Structure 1
Amino acid sequence: MTSETRYTNLTRYEDIGLNSKFNLADGHAHQGQNPTQREIVASLPELFHAAEQAFQSDSEREFQQAFYSLAGQHSAIGHPRTLLCYSASLSTDLAATYLASRGLSVALLQPCFDNLATILRRRNVALTPLGEDRLRNTAALDETLDAMHADAVFLTLPNNPTGFNLTPDRFRAIVDHCVAHHRILILDCTFRFFDISPLWDQYEVLEDSGVSYLVVEDSGKTWPTQDLKCSILAVSRDLYAGVLELHDDILLNVSPFILRLLTAYIRDTQEAGLERTVWRTIRRNRQALRRALAGTILTPEFPDSTVSVDWLRINRPGIRSEDVVATLGRAQIGVLPGDHFHWADHEAGARFIRIALARPPEWFATACGHLRDVVLSTPGFTA
């Protein structure tokens, strides 16, 4: 890849990263198997046989029960209006298709992963940016929401790439706003298991408020299952019939084998804890990256973030995200440019890159060392 190579979306950069020696591009779970997860892999024939013998509804119920229980979303256990999809992108496309069929517009968080905007635009949904910086400002929250001209509010919680999240009070304030202004609330919670704050039941707030909502959940960012994953699209009562009809047009069911496999991983995490199975690796890799970045032009923009990616600022005038991505790419290090995350204003993200952290720690430490060497040895990249 040369400095002139520019791709139109982040997924293309991720695809390049998949075939790089050091793939730090995509945010999927590639951290390797711990000892108990290796036991699950060894039991794949038994899981396959069990899936063959079970009713589909049993596999779905056990998966959702385990997922929502681990997430602390007890009001969602037994949720009667959930639809399963093979990916979060498919769930998002269902939401976009529903919005388009009703001629509804969306205020979408910025920055966010650009395929959210792309999917909505391909369905001809009108978009306006909702700046994360405005939501971070408590004093500006009401003013920001009141000034919006959109039929729906679309947030990613916690946010990829910045780790931004809402406190329970702010969450309720946005829910109340949507109820009062008859707006649909759309939530992408695909990174939820990286939030280390005390668990609280978001679905209880959603259901009790009567807000119109769509919530996208996903397993693919958390467990290293070679991209065998499942997304849940949870829907409020008033929207369910319309979304269900769209789901029926494209998908009968998610493989019961995949559901059984994911349930085994989730139950393993329930037993061992998120700290041991998820958070420890991410924290260790984030620390390794911070050490490697010391004294370079790359600095973490949000040092307290806990999600499985790091959002880095380029502290050198004249150096843009595309320059860093191209330079690292030539050294077989795949990362993502920040400009595409600012889907409505690429220039606002031109001084950032994103690095994925869900990788085996020893391998990741080697990648960090290589990254540091490349940055420090590149003319013009000195701090």
Structure 2
Amino acid sequence: MAQTKTEPVAERPANLTQFEFLALNSALNLADGHARQHLTPGQVRIVDELPALWAESVKSPVEEVEDAAHRAFLELLGQHGYRTLAGQVLSCYSSSVAMEILARSLVTVSDSILLLHPTFDNIPDILSGVGLRLVPLEETRLHEADLDPAVLRSVGCVFVTTPNNPTGRVLPPDRLRALAAQCAETDTVLALDTSFRGFEPASHYDHYAILDESGCRWVVIEDTGKLWPTLELKVGWLISAPNVGLPLADIHSDILLGVSPLVLSMIRRFAEDAAGGGLAELHRFIAANRRTLQEGLAGVPGVAFPYPGSRTSVELVDVGDRPALEVWSALRQRNVFTLPCQQFHWATPVEGEHRLRLALARPPAAIAAGTKALRHVLLGD
């Protein structure tokens, strides 16, 4: 395996976030899934409104600011059923903070969790970090048929990322309905991470209506941080059923008092802009960057795109016979950063050994330059 001059591959980062951290200062950072494209004209106007939003936030009750923000965001994405959940929406600094609160709550009532495989590795890291035993739930199994009731009864929670990161696969309404019914029957908590929902219209059906009708105990993590280039000013929402039976609010209060009303007001305005056409514009932007990547790698031996239906802001690339870490290292020498995929496959890392994940929420010039560099590396130029 090729060695970089600055860091031997043997000393590679311990988790995917550390890989992403290495990329933060690069103009060709195609690693993390956060939004780093340029602001649209409508979004520039919102930034110009920040002094007025500050004054508005100072004068308004925090509850009103929070309600307006999550209503604008969730209804933008078709989630009207959440309205019945007054008092069940907890605002967090990020989806990772919401995940930590969920994990600390689950471990008070259970010692194990059925977790989607593959998925982003900070999810298993946070869950296992509080002492939960992780049981892999293969993505193909989740989508094909009902789960084994005995397995459901043996765990305290089923955790599903939809759309999944990195595959982009969406749990469709019929499968969510069936899974929620099974969780109700076995009294298993159903947890969903929907952080990439905004990119995929197929996931804009009303999850909350289905969950509420099922009677199961459920939790949903929502995230604004993937959609808009807001310089890490974002909100993660932890939303739960009234009967969830977990100490979410107590643990939330252990960690934070609340999220900045200014950030909440800004998120509301970004959601309003998205509802006025900005979301459709974003979908076209990501689709164009995906075409640039796929067309730029056309004809490279061994290259494949294993999830051609994905519409999220990341793309998986199968790099053929070469180890993904070797390709990542060669790209790093060119100051181009991507993510090798072994750690997405947290239970069986070998499954991701020949895949890279590239972020698409970037300026088109960065996608084009990164694609060109990847092509050269793969062709041995």
**TM-score category (smaller protein):** over 0.9
Q: Of residues 181, 185, 190 in structure 1, which corresponds to 2:186? A: 181
Shift of 1:362: 2.9
For residue 360 of structure 2, the aligned residue among 350, 357, 370 is 357
Secondary structure at 1:344 match in 2: coil
Aligned residue number for residue 65 of structure 2? 59
Give, in angstroms, the shift of residue 240 of structure 1.
5.8
In the superposition, the TM-score normalised over structure 1's length comes to 0.93
Aligned partner letter, 2:253: D
Return the alpha-carbon distance in structure 2 between the equivalents of residues 241 and 118 of structure 1: 20
For 2:197, the aligned partner's letter is R
Say if 2:83 is the partner of 1:77.
yes
From 357, 364, 370, the counterpart of 2:373: 370
Q: Which moved more, 1:343-352 or 1:362-371?
A: 362-371
Query: Aligned residue pairs: how many?
Result: 372
CA–CA distance in structure 2, aligned partners of residues 286 and 110 of structure 1: 24
| C-alpha RMSD of the superposition | 1.6
Whole-angstrom distance in 2 between the partners of 1:348 and 1:241:
34
Q: Counterparts of 2:326 and 2:267 in 1: how far apart (Å)? A: 39
Q: 2:53 aligns with which of 31, 42, 47?
A: 47
SS at match of 2:44: helix
Contact 1:194–1:279, Cα closer than 8 Å, also in 2: yes
CA contact (8 A) 1:61 1:78 kept: no
User: TM-score normalized by structure 2?
Assistant: 0.94
CA-to-partner distance for each residue in 1:163-194, whole Å, 9 max, x for gaps? 11111111101111111111110100000011
Query: Structure 1 CA distance, aligned partners of 2:33 and 2:376?
Result: 23
CA distance 1:241–1:376, change in 2 (3 Å): closer
2:264 is the counterpart of 1:259 = yes
2:289 maps to 1:285: yes
Which amino acid in structure 2 is aligned with residue 367 of structure 1? G
Deviation (angstroms), 1:363? 3.0
Question: Residues 42 and 350 (structure 1 numbering): CA distance in 2 closer, same or farther, change over 3 Å?
Answer: same
Pick aligned residue for 2:140 from 99, 109, 133: 133
Q: CA deviation at 1:371?
A: 2.5
- Answer yes or no: is 1:229 the counterpart of 2:234: yes
Q: Secondary structure at the match of 1:310?
A: strand
Q: Is the 8 A contact 2:27 2:366 kept in 1?
A: no
Distance 1:74 1:118 in 2: 32
Can you give the 5+ residue segments of structure 1 that lack an aligned partner in the other structure? 379-383
Structure 1 residue 52: Cα displacement: 1.4
How big is the shift at 1:208?
Answer: 1.6
Equivalent runs, 1:9-48 vs 2, <5 Å: 9-48=15-54
Counterparts of 1:165 and 1:198, CA distance in 2:
6
Residue 57 of structure 1 aligns with an amino acid whose one-letter code is E
Unaligned ranges ≥5, structure 2: 1-6
Instruction: Give the CA deviation at 1:238.
Output: 2.1
Q: Deviations over 1:213-237 (max 9, x none)?
A: 1100000001110110001100111
Q: 1:306 corresponds to which residue?
A: 311
* SS in structure 2 of the partner of residue 93 of structure 1: helix
Q: CA deviation at 1:54?
A: 1.3
Aligned pair in 2 of structure 1 residues 41, 200: CA closer, same or farther (>3 Å)?
A: same
Q: What is the aligned-residue identity percentage?
A: 37
Q: Residues 95 and 195 of structure 2 are in contact (CA less than 8 Å); yes or no, is this contact kept in structure 1?
A: yes
Cα contact 2:110–2:156 (8 A) shared by 1: no
CA positional deviation for 1:293: 1.2
Amino acid at match of 1:287: R
Task: Tell me how far 1:146 sits from its aligned partner.
Answer: 5.1
Residue 3 of structure 2 corresponds to which residue in structure 1?
Answer: none
